[in-house]
Structure 1
Amino acid sequence: MTKLAFTTAALLSLVSAGLAEAQGLTIGVVAPLDGPFAILGQQILDGAKAQAEASGNRILPVPESCAPDSGVDVASRLIAGGATAAVGFLCADSLIGSAQALKEAAIPVITLSARSKVLFEDAVKNDWPIYSLSPRPGEEASVTAGIMAGLWPNSAIALLDDGTLNSHELAANIRLELEDKGIKPVLAEAFRPSIDNQKILIRRLQKAGVTAVYVAGARSDVATIARDAAGTGMAIMGGDQLIAADETVALPDGVLAVIPERWREQPAASAIVHALGERQIYAEGYVLPAHAAAQIVDRAQTTVSDKQDLAASISSGTFDTAVGKVTFAKDHFRADDVYRLLEWRNGGFQPPAPAAGKPGQTQ
């Protein structure tokens, strides 16, 4: 970090050479290229490359290690490669060390995953050109609590978590949001995960009079709880950990989920999904968000004038993309929330049936 100013000054001299060689835009794609997260990196590369090539641009792959202080190396590669903008960035560490250098080099960034509250507070304060397609911190809890309050206004609610840090924080934040709305859960506790049955837990919930349950835990645990609650009339809901494959227990029909919009299944994305399919690219994971990020860069560039740089064009524009209409708010996050209430039915998440999730319905 102490070498950042020197590094920036030295690297800025490389910008002109990099730009001279570029044809169209050069979009840096910062993503894991090896290791356990390489599959996610490939999704990002596939989506960004497909969109860039369709627009006459090119991509500059930059490996992302997510190691502390790795941002200096990331910034150096982007600047040396003449990047017009950069997309990807699964880790906050990659941005923390590169943000100032990228600002000075006029290289805006659209991250698909990083959502550190501190990082984005600094981005606003320091005018770093970093924008996020991911939900802002606390958004999942806020949206979930709002949905629960509307769906279960007079129900006896239990909040369960599997004891992991992320799950516990999510459940705790949902509880605070519910209490702000005047709803006090009758039970809020951790459960024992990864066991064959949860009948003891279900009996305890019944004894407490619980009629609606939110489970912050893995899909396998939610499936086990829902299976063992069958016939009790309890409504069961989970979060984005339900976006996974079935393991030993299949997720029963009727389980509710507050999860990010399933963009691949939306009509607006159908043409893009089809075009990707013709290139043998399955639109899963980060493929569509990466495609959307590259699309935003390309569209924003068309509105740049002498009075407006690319970062300003990104921050002030509204863009129709593979993941819906995108506008960035003053906190640099996507303005609209992306979470929706869906129901698992017939092997997939679908809009909930009219009576879905009402306590007393058999799950």
Structure 2
Amino acid sequence: MRLVVLTVAALAALCADSAAEALTIGVSAPLSGPSAILGRQIDAGSRLAADAGGASLKVVDDACTAEGGAAAAREFATEKADVVVGFLCSEAIEAALPILKDAGIPVITVGVRTDSLTDGRDKTGWPIFRLAPREDAEGRAVAEMVTRQWRNDFFAIVDDGTIYGRGIAETVRAAAERSGLKPVFIDTFRPGMDNQIGLIGRLKKAGAARVFVGGDGSDIAIMARDAGKLGADMVFAGGESLRIASGDVAYTQGTLMVALPEWSQTADKAALDAFSAAKIIPDGYALPAFAAVQIATQVGAEASGTPLGEALTGHDFNTAIGPIRFDDKGDLAQNPYRVFRFDGQNFVPLEEK
């Protein structure tokens, strides 16, 4: 296993000796249309990392459309880009990948989560790697939390009947069953109510001490409040919907959330200092884009004749957002979702037992 250490200073040093051989990195981002604010985050983060690493950038607006993605890919092929980073929309990247495959240009996407993008890699041969989690990563992380941390507790699973809520609840139920665990209560609730007293009463009668909720944060906040009113000692947990403000009812201390880290709070200090010096706010996709360019730059320097697509697989990279490793399909080798606990003001990382 080879550990590749990336810092802003190291990136600059890597390319200082050979500016003429600077890597050409394509950046595909929606710089127009409704997603333009996110595209600008990718643009800003990519430029900052490229400036530090001595790479040359070719930034193209893919407009988050199939037509835009294909046009961007053709432009990258014409410019002979070594690697492409970015892409937020499945329509754009799916149209771009066949063109980039023919041109031998690997892609590091920061935003597309669709499972099939990498699941079909054996058939498509698409040179895709992603810093974004898979679509099923949240459910798998919740299932791991329930089966590991709640295995000795009486737990329940409820959902709001939506595609998202029911899907993640079923993932958790199936994982519990495979682990020999059985919820004391499973139900579908009506979302958007101003109280959930009836549901809490049924949960209390079933003896539930832990409750996973497939639904919105506002509903979870109301359930926790009503449990307190009924004197029911329950801990509620949900997915990344809890990142959204709870509305009129505040989250209850002890509420658990399974979600991605806030990169601006956990990123490498050197990278955050670089953003601060450049007066760039490291919001949204800015830090993942920065990390993608870090990886591309280091791989370009280390490849030594090996195709970049091969060099991206099976190696560890220390980036601004933490260690990154891609598996054989191009997915993240480690699930980035973590468990957080509400301390009365913020969700803070929960140390594993």
Band of TM-score, shorter chain: 0.7 to 0.9
Aligned partner letter, 1:104: D
> Secondary structure at the residue paired with 1:148?
helix
Q: In structure 1, how many angstroms separate the alpha carbons of the residues matched to 2:257 and 2:220?
A: 10
Q: Does 2:294 align with 1:295?
A: yes
123, 138, 141: which one pairs with 1:140?
138
Corresponding residue for 1:232? 232
Which 10-residue stretch deviates more, 112-121 or 324-333? 112-121
In the TM superposition, structure 1's runs of 4+ consecutive aligned residues that sit over 4 Å from their partners are none
Residues 49 and 58 of structure 1 are in contact (CA less than 8 Å); yes or no, is this contact kept in structure 2? no
Residues 63 and 74 of structure 1 are in contact (CA less than 8 Å); yes or no, is this contact kept in structure 2? yes
Identity percentage of aligned residues: 37
User: Following TM superposition, by how much is the alpha carbon of 1:271 offset from its aligned partner in structure 2, in angstroms?
Assistant: 1.9
**Compared CA separation, residues 181 and 279, structure 1 to 2 (3 A):** same
Corresponding residue for 2:11? none
Corresponding residue for 1:243? 243
Instruction: Kindly report which structure 2 residues correspond to 1:121-136, keeping only aligned pairs within 5 A, or say none.
Output: 121-136=119-134
Which 10-residue stretch deviates more, 331-340 or 271-280? 271-280
Residues 263 and 269 of structure 1 are in contact (CA less than 8 Å); yes or no, is this contact kept in structure 2? no
Instruction: Kindly report which structure 2 residues correspond to 1:38-117, keeping only aligned pairs within 5 A, or say none.
Output: 38-68=36-66, 70-117=68-115
Corresponding residue for 1:3? none
Corresponding residue for 1:19? none
Which 10-residue stretch deviates more, 291-300 or 87-96? 87-96
User: Following TM superposition, by how much is the alpha carbon of 1:354 offset from its aligned partner in structure 2, in angstroms?
Assistant: 9.0
Aligned partner letter, 2:287: L
> Secondary structure at the residue paired with 1:49?
helix
> Secondary structure at the residue paired with 2:201?
helix
Corresponding residue for 1:324? 322
Q: In structure 2, how many angstroms separate the alpha carbons of the residues matched to 1:64 and 1:221?
A: 37
**Please, which runs of 5 or more residues in structure 1 have no aligned partner?**
1-21, 356-363
Q: In structure 2, how many angstroms separate the alpha carbons of the residues matched to 1:194 and 1:58?
A: 50
Q: Does 2:256 align with 1:271?
A: no
Instruction: Kindly report which structure 2 residues correspond to 1:150-229, keeping only aligned pairs within 5 A, or say none.
Output: 150-229=148-227
Corresponding residue for 1:309? 307
Residues 45 and 289 of structure 2 are in contact (CA less than 8 Å); yes or no, is this contact kept in structure 1? yes
The Cα offsets for residues 116-153 of structure 1, whole Å up to 9 and x where unpaired, read as 23221232333321101122343322222222122221
> Secondary structure at the residue paired with 1:97?
helix
**Please, which runs of 5 or more residues in structure 2 have no aligned partner?**
1-19
**Compared CA separation, residues 234 and 297, structure 1 to 2 (3 A):** same
Q: In structure 1, how many angstroms separate the alpha carbons of the residues matched to 2:62 and 2:168?
A: 27
> Secondary structure at the residue paired with 1:110?
strand
Answer 1 or 2: higher relative contact order, Cα 8 Å, separation at least 6.
2
Q: In structure 1, how many angstroms separate the alpha carbons of the residues matched to 2:21 and 2:344?
A: 48
The Cα offsets for residues 174-214 of structure 1, whole Å up to 9 and x where unpaired, read as 11111111112233333222232222222222233222111
User: Following TM superposition, by how much is the alpha carbon of 1:23 offset from its aligned partner in structure 2, in angstroms?
Assistant: 7.6
Aligned partner letter, 2:199: L
Q: In structure 2, how many angstroms separate the alpha carbons of the residues matched to 1:354 and 1:104?
A: 45
Aligned partner letter, 2:253: D
> Secondary structure at the residue paired with 2:245?
coil
What's the TM-score, normalizing by structure 2? 0.86
User: Following TM superposition, by how much is the alpha carbon of 1:248 offset from its aligned partner in structure 2, in angstroms?
Assistant: 2.2
